[in-house]
């Protein structure tokens, strides 16, 4: 039996990494050993691409260049990590997937990469493959940015390339994620990420129980 693919999406500082780990712990309690992955950076090639994409000057790539780099990372991750695990019946939880590319490179950049280009790239890289469930963590950009910059203070490598963009960019991201969720309600579930960590986790568990019949 094929495994399940769960993705977490949302703007900067929404708490994806924390909630991915908490969901993984919950699934282990239920006898499911999930594989955790992230975009970009879950393969050796992806780690190189991650350094290019999330560090340095915010304007060093245009939106199309960024999009191509993200899809190169995605193809490596799918072929080397995600698809083999799913074929073995494992559950995979990913910190970001294709919805982030649409939110950042279409909505964030004021529609500088068209939906035609995005959908075409997706078909080339992933075919008709889609997540079984996508959790979108929704938070006011002002709150998320404060969290993100506070977290960066503890990091050796400052991954702040997108955080350095104007607040309007982050409001566009939020609007993008919410529009994606409204367009695909059977796949996506929106969770208020401004609540405390345990409250957010319990809501996510409730959604996973209902949608994936645990």
Element (DSSP H or E) covering residue 92: strand 92-95
Sign of the C-alpha dihedral computed for residues 161, 95, 204 and 201 taken in this order: negative
% of the chain residues with pLDDT over 90: 72
Instruction: Look at residue 5 and give its three-state secondary structure.
Output: strand
Domain ranges of the chain: 5-212
**pLDDT of 204 strictly over 90:** yes
Q: Would you identify the CATH topology of the domain 5-212?
A: Rossmann fold (3.40.50)
Q: What is the pLDDT of residue 163?
A: 62
Torsion angles phi and psi, residue 55, rounded to 5: -125, 160
CA-based radius of gyration for the chain: 16
Question: Over 80: is that where the pLDDT of 174 sits?
Answer: yes
DSSP three-state, residue 98: helix
Q: Name the pTM for this structure.
A: 0.91
Instruction: Please tell me the distance from the alpha carbon of residue 1 to that of residue 43, in angstroms, as a whole number.
Output: 25
């Amino acid at each position: 039996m094929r495994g399940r693919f769960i993705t977490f999406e949302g703007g900067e500082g929404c708490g994806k990494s924390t909630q991915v780990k908490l969901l993984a712990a919950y699934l282990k309690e239920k006898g499911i050993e999930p594989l955790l992955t992230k975009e970009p950076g879950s393969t050796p090639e992806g780690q190189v691409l991650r350094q290019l994409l999330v560090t340095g000057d915010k304007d060093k790539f245009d939106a199309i260049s960024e999009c191509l780099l993200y899809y190169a990372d995605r193809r490596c991750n799918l072929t080397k990590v995600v698809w083999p695990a799913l074929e073995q019946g494992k559950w995979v939880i990913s910190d970001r997937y294709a919805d982030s590319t649409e939110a950042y490179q279409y909505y964030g950049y004021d529609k500088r990469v068209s939906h035609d280009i995005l959908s075409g790239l997706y078909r080339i890289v992933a075919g008709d493959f889609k997540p079984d469930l996508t959790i979108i963590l929704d938070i006011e950009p002002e709150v998320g940015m404060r969290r993100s910059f506070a977290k960066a203070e503890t990091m050796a490598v400052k991954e702040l390339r997108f955080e350095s963009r104007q607040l309007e960019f982050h409001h566009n991201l939020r609007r993008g994620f919410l529009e994606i969720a409204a367009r695909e309600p059977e796949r996506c579930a929106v969770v208020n990420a401004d609540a405390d960590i345990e409250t957010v986790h319990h809501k996510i568990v409730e959604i996973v129980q209902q949608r994936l019949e645990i």
